[in-house]
Structure 1
Amino acid sequence: MASELHEAIFVAKQERHKNLFLNYRNLSIFPVELLKDEGLQFLERLYMKRNSLTTLPDSLAQKLPNLIELYLHSNNIVIIPEAIGNLAKLQSLDLSDNALQVICPEIGRLRSLRHLRLANNQLKFLPPEIGDLRELETLDVSMNLLSWLPERLHQCLSLQCLTADRNHLHGLPRQLCQLQSLNELSMAANCLASLPLDLGRSRELQFVFVDNNVHLKGLPSYLYNKVIGCSGCGLSAQVPDSKLLSLALGEVAVPLPAEVKTVGSETERVVPLEELAIRALYHICHQHTKELSLLPAFLLPKSLLDVLLCPLGHCHRCSQPMFTIVYPKLFPLRETPLAGVHRRTTVSFVAYCCSSQCVRTFDLQG
């Protein structure tokens, strides 16, 4: 077995191969032959799946500087070295099915990375530096121990597919709604009780899977015309007209995000002063700067600046940004086809409006 390994590496060096397959070799340590002398400067793709590796060498980037793809699926890797950040050309990294407990912040230096797969590890959190991966298109962190996703994830402007199934997620940062390129979002088998109000507002988001989140009682109405998977979600019976508007008097049928401090009633037409002030400031900022990010940070407390940069949601009828108050309207259940599945399921949708007047005139079919 060892002689076959040596021969494969020797031939790769002699013939300057760009691809090297070392899958199923029962390797417990990284082959030193790959790191001798100048290494394999010409190697672009290294496949080392289904081995028994526990770590990676610090000199990996120095000896294999032109790596574009690195596949380490199904090993026993516990930690990856900080030097991983030196693989400047790396576009695809697969560390699925390992024993990772921590991802080092240096992963944010992989500015060419397009595909990152970390499924089936023991990760309890992701470093905020993942937000520095501006070229990232695919992120798979399913089957870990995550209870939250980093807010800076919304800075991954190229992200198209985000998968975080089978974690311990209790909520999603509302900043995810700013991912304008996101096409598929999969959060099945978590502990979600609500979803960001603006989720689905981007036309690019077409596939949303939230199966087996048993506490999730409704989906934002922006998802109405999307392909959704939601078995295990939704209410079990039709909702009478009298409960279409959730009240603050114990009749809230849909869990609301923690940021929502006040819920208006059907007869209450006065928006709280706090909400009016923030809406006015938001419009002034847009009018004079055109870009909220240009607003000098020292003019506002950081918490307020964060709210202005990312409103809680937008009115589903008039697109008015909302910050501290929403008027939810629950629509009766409808049948929704699941992607690639013949059976059908039912789900309730919720419209979030900026005033009681808006919520009374909102029609989901419109």
Structure 2
Amino acid sequence: MFRGTSGPTAVRRCRQSSRRRDRGDRDERSGREHRERRSREGQLTVRTGNSDWGSRQLRVPPRALAGLRQLRKLDLSFNGMQKLEVDSLVHNRIRALGAAAFEALPQLRAVMIESNQVRHVAETAVLHNTELRRLELQDNEIERLGATTLRSLRHLTLLNMSHNALGTDNGSLPELDGLFSLQALNLSNNRISSVSGEQLEQLVNLGTLDLSANWVQRLPTLALRGLAQLTLAQNQIRTVAPAALVGCAALRSLDMTDNLLQTMPSTVYQLRYLEELKIAGNRLESIIPRYEARDHL
């Protein structure tokens, strides 16, 4: 004989059914917001898109992704993060910076992608990031930059591309057009063999230039009035032309350690503000003619 359910038991079952429907609705909304975390073959992909959140903004706390050591792709599109100013992706295994990689973050002031495996940088990777002040790509595998890759970065003050493979194809410097605000340039530990004075002259605000540990054989004539520190250690420079540094009147530190120099032109010792001259590890036959020695050295 069938006995119907009534009283407290019926109410309890009704409430349970209602809770299940609520959970189903939440799951459906979650799918519509495109949140995804997936682990596949040891490669974790994190993707979130809040295209229908209206005025909401995603907030990423410090070190929120610190434990994701196998992270290969991070997609934070459609989250309204226009005010993010610093993007640090150091010590990962990133292999390429694609076209318009940071287009959704126009207010970025600093991008730090050092110690990865980046080999390719798309010509438009930072095209839309005109507010960048710092770009740090050191310790990667970059062989070249496109002719216009950096051209839009008129406010960039620091560029670090040390410990890469720049110069592998033709031995020359990367294209530096448009970097009128650049103050510090580090291209050490690459494969650069040829330095163009004309290419560097456009860097009118450059104060620090590091080209150490390359394959440079000749120092061109430099006209960098604000340059204070020049590092050319561990290259293959044999001679320095008399006029090479005359245009660097503000130079305070010159490091040419471990080259193949046999002589130094007298014009180097006449640099008014030069305080530090490092020339150990060369083949110098003479140092300073006595009548040209300067008190400030």
* TM-score past 0.5 threshold: yes
Deviations 1:304-342 (A, max 9, x none): xxxxxxxxxxxxxxxxxxxxxxxxxxxxx5xxxxxxxxx
Q: Which residue of 2 aligns with 1:66?
A: 107
Q: Does 1:191 align with 2:236?
A: yes
Query: Could you tell me which amino acid in structure 1 is paired with residue 143 of structure 2?
Result: Q
Q: How does 1:129-278 map to 2 (within 5 A)?
A: 129-150=175-196, 151-174=198-221, 176=222, 178-198=223-243, 199=245, 202-213=248-259, 215-224=260-269, 225-235=274-284
Change (3 A) 1:108 1:102: same
Q: Structure 1 residue 94: deviation in Å?
A: 0.5
Q: Which residue of 2 aligns with 1:108?
A: 151
2:63 and 2:87 mapped to 1: Cα distance? 5
1:234 and 1:95 mapped to 2: Cα distance? 34
Q: Structure 1 residue 27: deviation in Å?
A: 5.0
SS at structure 1 position matched to 2:127: helix
Percent identical? 24
Bigger helix share: 1
SS at structure 2 position matched to 1:116: strand
Q: Which residue of 2 aligns with 1:92?
A: 134
Q: Which residue of 1 aligns with 2:162?
A: 119
Deviations 1:131-183 (A, max 9, x none): 43110111111111111123311110000100011111011221x2x100100
Q: Which runs of 4+ in 1 moved over 6 A?
A: 1-5, 7-10
SS at structure 2 position matched to 1:31: strand
Contact 2:173 2:195 in 1 (8 A): no
1:74 and 1:365 mapped to 2: Cα distance? 43
1:123 and 1:53 mapped to 2: Cα distance? 18
Change (3 A) 1:218 1:206: same
2:63 and 2:127 mapped to 1: Cα distance? 21
Contact 1:67 1:90 in 2 (8 A): yes
Change (3 A) 1:9 1:192: farther
Q: Does 1:14 align with 2:63?
A: no
SS at structure 2 position matched to 1:228: strand
Contact 2:151 2:178 in 1 (8 A): yes
Q: Does 1:56 align with 2:101?
A: no
Query: Could you tell me which amino acid in structure 1 is paired with residue 84 of structure 2?
Result: L
TM-score by length of 1: 0.58
Deviations 1:27-79 (A, max 9, x none): 553401x2x21552110001111000001232323211111100001000011
Change (3 A) 1:364 1:127: closer
2:106 and 2:147 mapped to 1: Cα distance? 20
Q: Which residue of 2 aligns with 1:76?
A: 117
Structure number with the bigger relative contact order (C-alpha 8 A, sep ≥ 6) is 1
TM-score by length of 2: 0.70
Query: Could you tell me which amino acid in structure 2 is paired with residue 155 of structure 1?
Result: Q
Q: Structure 1 residue 111: deviation in Å?
A: 1.1
Q: Structure 1 residue 231: deviation in Å?
A: 1.1
- Greater radius of gyration (CA): 2
Change (3 A) 1:365 1:80: closer
Deviations 1:93-134 (A, max 9, x none): 001000101112221221111100011111114566404311
Contact 1:221 1:349 in 2 (8 A): yes
Q: Which residue of 2 aligns with 1:46?
A: 87
Q: Structure 1 residue 86: deviation in Å?
A: 2.5
Q: Structure 1 residue 365: deviation in Å?
A: 5.1
Contact 1:54 1:75 in 2 (8 A): yes
Q: Structure 1 residue 363: deviation in Å?
A: 4.3
Q: Structure 1 residue 88: deviation in Å?
A: 0.6
Contact 1:142 1:167 in 2 (8 A): yes
